[in-house]
Amino acid sequence: MNLHGIVSAAIATVNPFVTATLKRSTGYTTAADGTRTPTYLDVPGVSVQVQALGYSDLQQLDGLNIQGVRRAVYLNGQALAVVRPLQTGGDLFLFPAGTLPEGDTWLVAYVLESWPDWCKCALTLQMDRPG
């Protein structure tokens, strides 16, 4: 049962959805000198709801030593943090300029909840916008 789908319309009256581009990690390419460059598949027009992290989420991230400016996003669909067996980095969310006052590029640092139809992810602000 997609509980997020049921309650999201009511929540959106207080905290509206915003549109972002999900840059889904597809791994990396390796140059001749051995340097690696992450590669992504752009998924434009992803509707997400950005919220502050709750106390228990902050405790969990603190225990994992994940630091920085953080937010939670809820989305219908899936986003992934680092998946070592697949050798993928973390997915990125690119928000239109000015959507979030801290910056536009956010890394999926940890998936807090994952369900068949939706997920809740902890994002960490990134310093630069990927190409």
pLDDT tens by residue, the chain, 131 residues: 666 666 666 666 677 899 999 999 998 899 999 999 989 999 999 999 999 888 777 777 777 776 678 899 999 999 999 888 877 779 999 999 989 888 899 999 999 999 999 999 999 999 865 55
Predicted local confidence at residue 56, as pLDDT: 79
Q: Of 43, 47, 53, which Cα lies nearest the Cα of 112?
A: 53
State the DSSP H helix or E strand holding residue 7, giving kind and residue range, or none if neither: helix 3-12
Distance (Å, rounded) from C-alpha 63 to C-alpha 116? Answer: 26
Q: Which residues pair with 102 in a beta bridge?
A: none
Q: Which residues pair with 94 in a beta bridge?
A: 21, 105
All structural domains of the chain, each given as residue ranges with its CATH number in brackets, are 3-125 (2.40.10.270)
Is the Cβ–Cβ distance between 123 and 93 less than 8 Å?
A: yes
Predicted local confidence at residue 21, as pLDDT: 96
Distances (CA, A) of 113 to 36, 53, 124: 30, 13, 16
